[in-house]
Structure 1
C-alpha cells in the first residue's frame, strides 16, 4: 500500500482522537455525579441512577448514535454528526466510568474512614486527601482499558457520517478495490494509537502506587 493511499486515511485520525477524548472527558466528569447518586442513602435516587446506568449500558452504541442523530437531531435538536457522536459515546462513557469508579471505591477498606474519624479529620478532608488518591489509582488501569476500548468504538461514528479513520478507510477501499489491505492498515493505526495510552497508564499507575505507599 503506497503513501498516496495511506494519506487520505490519516485525515480521519484527528477526528478519531478528538471524538475519543471528548467522549471520555464527558464520561469521566458525568460519571462522578452518577456515582454519587449510586452511593446515595436515598433509595429513589440510588434506584434511578442504577436504572440509568443499566439502560445506557444495555443499548448498543450504534443505536444511541441513531437515537441522538436521527431521533433528536431530526426536528428536535439540530446537531452535527460529530456532536451527536460525542454526545452518544459520552453518555455511554459516563455510565461505564460510574461503574469503574464504584468498583474502585468499593476496594477501599472502610477502616480508612474510621481511622480518619479517630484522627479528627473531616469527611471532606478524608475523601480528598486519603480516599480519592487511592480510588483514582485503583480505577486508573480500568479507565485506561476503557479508553482504549472507546477509541475502537468510535468506528461506529462513521455510520452517521463522522469522517474518522473507518470512514476514510471505507472510502479508500471503494476507490482502490483493495479492502483487505486498506482495513488492515486502519486496524494497525488503531493499535498504534492505543499503545501510548497503555504505556502512559502504566507510568501513571507506578507513580501513584509509589505516592500512595509513602
Structure 2
C-alpha cells in the first residue's frame, strides 16, 4: 500500500504545477478580456462576449482535446502539459474576466469620480484606486474558482499529463484496488485545497483590516 501511495504522490507536483500555471495564464488574460467586455466599442464588446460565452459553454475536456489533438497535431507541436495549460488557461480567462467584471461593478461609482477629481492619470487611477479594491472584492470568488480548477485539472489525465488522476488510474489498474486508491486520491485533493482556502481567508482578513483602519 505504501508503494501505491508513493506512486500516486508522483502526480501531486504535476497537479499543483498545472493548476497554478493555468490560473496564472487565465488571471492575466482575464484582465484585457474584462476590459474589452466593458469597452464602449461595440465590436470589442461583441468579440469578448462571444469568447466568454464560448469558453464557458464548452466543457474543459473538449478544449483540451481541441488544443492537443487539433492544434497540437496540426499546427503547433505541444506536450500534454502545455496543451493542458493552454486549454484550462483559456477557460480560466473567461471565468476570471467575469469575476473581474463583477468586482468592478461592485466598486462604488464615487471611487471612480474621486480618482478623476484628484487629477490622476488613467494608469494611476487603476493602480492606486481601482486595483486594490478590485483585488479585495474578487479574492473570494477567485480563490473558489482556483479550488474548482484544482479539481478540474484531473481532466488533463485524458491527454497524458501525469497528474493525480493519471497516477491513480494506473495504480488502480495494476493493483485492482480501485476503492482504496481513489479514496487516497480524493484525500490528497482535499489536502491540496485546504491551503488555498486558508490563504484566501487570511489574505481577505488582512485586506479588510487595512480598509477598516
Q: Which segments of 5 or more consecutive residues in structure 2 lack a partner in the other structure? A: none
Q: How does 1:26-175 map to 2 (within 5 A)?
A: 26-175=25-174
Cα offset, 1:115, TM superposition: 2.3
Aligned to 2:9: 10
Distance 1:117 1:167 in 2: 52
Q: What is the RMSD of the two structures over their aligned residues, measured on CA atoms?
A: 1.1
Write out per-residue CA displacement over residues 59-98 of structure 1, whole angstroms, 9 at most, x where no aligned residue.
0000001101111111321111111001100111111110
- Alignment of 1:208 with 2:204, yes or no, is no
Aligned to 2:192: 193
SS at match of 1:78: coil
1:24–1:93 Cα contact (<8 Å) kept? yes
Cα offset, 1:4, TM superposition: 1.5
TM-score between the two structures when normalised by the length of structure 2:
0.97
1:133–1:212 Cα contact (<8 Å) kept? no
Distance 1:105 1:164 in 2: 35
Cα offset, 1:37, TM superposition: 0.6
Number of residue pairs matched? 213
Q: Which segments of 5 or more consecutive residues in structure 1 lack a partner in the other structure? A: none
SS at match of 2:128: helix
Distance 1:71 1:80 in 2: 13
Cα offset, 1:118, TM superposition: 3.0
TM-score between the two structures when normalised by the length of structure 1:
0.96
1:134–1:212 Cα contact (<8 Å) kept? no
Report which stretch shifted further, 123-132 or 104-113.
Answer: 123-132
Cα offset, 1:120, TM superposition: 3.3
- Indicate how the Cα distance of structure 1 residues 123 and 72 shifts in structure 2: closer, same or farther if over 3 A, else same: closer
